[in-house]
Structure 1
Amino acid sequence: MDSSTHKVYHVHDFDSRQCLEDYFSDKPDMVFGDDVLKFPIDNLRKVFAVGNVKGNILIDLSTGSFVHHLYSACEFFKNIIVLKVNNRCIMELKRWVDERTGAFYWGHTSALLQEKEENGDQFQDQEAKLRSAIQHVVKYDLEKENMTEPLVLPPADCVISVWLLDIISKDQDDYIRNLRKFSRLLNPGGHLLLIGSLGGTYFTVGKDKFHALTYDEDFVRKVLVGEGFIIDYCNVQERTAVSEIADHKAVIFIAAHKEK
């Protein structure tokens, strides 16, 4: 299958539950566990622990229906608004938030958090705290000027975006346009936390192969500076496993703030 026939995340049917099973479960064959579970948890915890990234409203614009990247965020933000592109992602996330039967199990991520926390017994409370902090799960449309029309979101103190820009952007110019849309959700001086994959062209969910944009660290740094951001922290980790389910070369975390 050449890249021109890859499916597109926000255009074609995306099975959010299958994505969780393929990349985020506690199965022993989760080859990219270090990349998709440990890397986000470690870096987000480190950035939030400094104490500069905090406020009232955080907006999450991320792929699929995973939640582990928000455990640290709920300690520093009272209200979390999650934006999702399709109904399957919304239903999957709400199933977990509402603690419904059949919700995806995230207990295996507790061990990753406990490694860094003095009191690992507090993780169960952390899960409850995150559920309480997620105030709204809202569908968005990238084609609209206001992505959440007719709802107008309040300006956010922080936007987190995990792997979304990689898979909704058809080329580098499109990446810049989408980043600009995300940036408009921020207050002046607000923080942007990005996690992405470097050097990839696709990822698979079940039997479906989805488009991913190829870019490198230098590109994303230049884009952020060009859009008026100051980069506060950056970490790149080479991929930790060999697998054909995705072809990224590394994962990147960047924390930046918007100039006032």
Structure 2
Amino acid sequence: MMDSSPHKLYHVHGFDSRQFLEHYCSDKPDMGFGDDILKFPIENLREVLSVGHINGDILIDLSVGSFIHHLYSASEFFKNIIVLKANNRCIMELKRWVDERTGAFYWGHTSTLLKERENSDHFEDKEEKLRSAIQHVVKCDLEKENMTEPLVLPPADCVISVWLLDAISKDQDDYIRYLRKFSRLLNPAGHLLLIGVLDATYYTVGKYKFYSFTYDEDFARKALVGEGFIIDYCNVQERTAVSDITDYKAMIFIAAHKEK
């Protein structure tokens, strides 16, 4: 039975990171989000990064939960990946995978997706490459001016964010405020890769409903342009998943760069 209290907020209340992955990323036959949550990021990131314009030394990842599948392609183009998390349980879940500890979440089913698109049998090499690329997993406070205080991060060549702005923003002003913070992590010519869900109001983890900010493609585009970004690529995919544990209508992927 669903919790009848007001929807919780990801960065305020936190959630069970393993349940989150089981709901949206597992290899179970009844997990219906494969096309949306797994394939969509992998395909679009590969499409954008393979062109060769987005690369460098440092990539900062600011994503909800303990996702790693979106970073496989990124590890081919960036030497060092710094992952920022606001939730201790998500940090523990991610480190369990990075350190190859017993009980880590199984991501092997994503190997099929990568093999199909890259015609490669070397998923294990990619997995190890990603582990090596993740240099730091850092606790952050999304409300602080410097989210990693007292640590000062070097400027990033790219920031990637999956579903996080949707999960932490209560309204349009909030979205733009957090977007501005993410932008400050970039160097002057840096790139921003955003993956989100459109027209959502909630998502479920365990017995709890969590709030999701409702917006459309037009708002996302205007927010980025308003913060000084030039949009290089945008793709919207209508929802394919059949489930009532979240109510988004479509997935969105945007690649943009800062005006010099």
TM-score by length of 1: 0.98
User: Aligned equivalents of 1:212 and 1:246: distance in 2?
Assistant: 9
CA contact (8 A) 2:160 2:192 kept: yes
Q: Secondary structure at the match of 2:174?
A: helix
Contact 1:62/1:160 (8 A) holds in 2:
yes
| Cross-structure match for 1:101 | 102
Deviation string, structure 1 residues 113-146 (Cα, Å, up to 9, x no partner): 111112x211110000000000000010012110
Q: Does 1:113 align with 2:114?
A: yes
Q: Which amino acid letter does the alignment assign opposite residue 49 of structure 1?
A: S
Q: Which residue of 2 aligns with 1:222?
A: 222
What is the distance in 2 between the residues matched to 1:83 and 1:95?
15
- Which whole-Å deviations, capped at 9, do the CAs of 1:82-126 have from their partners, x for residues lacking one? 0001110000000000000000000000001111112x2111100
The Cα offsets for residues 67-89 of structure 1, whole Å up to 9 and x where unpaired, read as: 00000000000000000011100
**Structure 2: which amino acid aligns with 1:42?**
E
- Summarize the alignment of residues 99-178 of structure 1 with structure 2, pairs less than 5 Å apart: 99-118=100-119, 120-178=120-178
State the Cα distance separating 1:3 from its structure 2 match. Answer: 10
Distance 1:201 1:216, change over 3 A: same
Residue 245, structure 1, aligned to residue 245, structure 2: yes
Query: Is 1:64 paired with 2:74?
Result: no
Q: Which residue of 1 aligns with 2:196?
A: 196
Q: Residue 150 and residue 36 in structure 1: after superposition, are their counterparts in 2 closer, same or farther (change >3 A)?
A: same
Q: Distance in 1 between matches of 2:39 and 2:4?
A: 29
| RMSD between superposed Cα atoms in Å | 1.2
- 1:44-59, aligned counterparts within 5 Å? 44-59=45-60
CA distance in 2, matches of 1:2, 1:104: 26
Unaligned runs of 5+ in 1: none
Matches within 5 A, 1:78-97: 78-97=79-98
Contact map agreement 1:82 1:137 (CA 8 A) in 2: yes
- The runs of at least 4 consecutive aligned structure 1 residues that moved more than 3 Å come to 1-4
Shift of 1:43: 0.2
Q: Contact 2:3 / 2:209 at 8 angstroms: preserved in 1? A: no
Q: Secondary structure at the match of 2:30?
A: coil
Deviation at 1:66, TM superposition (A): 1.2
**What one-letter code is carried by the residue in structure 2 that aligns with 1:167?**
A
- C-alpha distance in 1 between matches for 2:252 and 2:67: 18
Checking the alignment, whether the CA contact within 8 Å between 1:74 and 1:80 is kept in structure 2 is yes
Give % identity: 82
Contact 2:239 2:249 survives alignment (8 Å): yes
Q: Could you tell me whether the CA contact under 8 Å between 1:157 and 1:191 is conserved in 2? A: yes
CA distance in structure 2 between the aligned counterparts of 1:124 and 1:14, rounded to whole angstroms: 30
Deviations 1:28-54 (A, max 9, x none): 111111100000000001101000000
Q: Distance in 2 between matches of 1:69 and 1:241?
A: 19
Which residue is 2:18 aligned to? 17
Conservation of the 8 A alpha-carbon contact between 2:191 and 2:257: yes
Please give the alpha-carbon distance, in whole angstroms, between the structure 1 residues aligned to 2:156 and 2:15: 27
- TM-score after normalising by structure 2: 0.98
Q: Does 1:257 align with 2:245?
A: no
CA distance in 2, matches of 1:105, 1:153: 30
1:208 corresponding residue in structure 2:
208
In 2, the alpha carbon distance for the partners of 1:45 and 1:123 equals 15
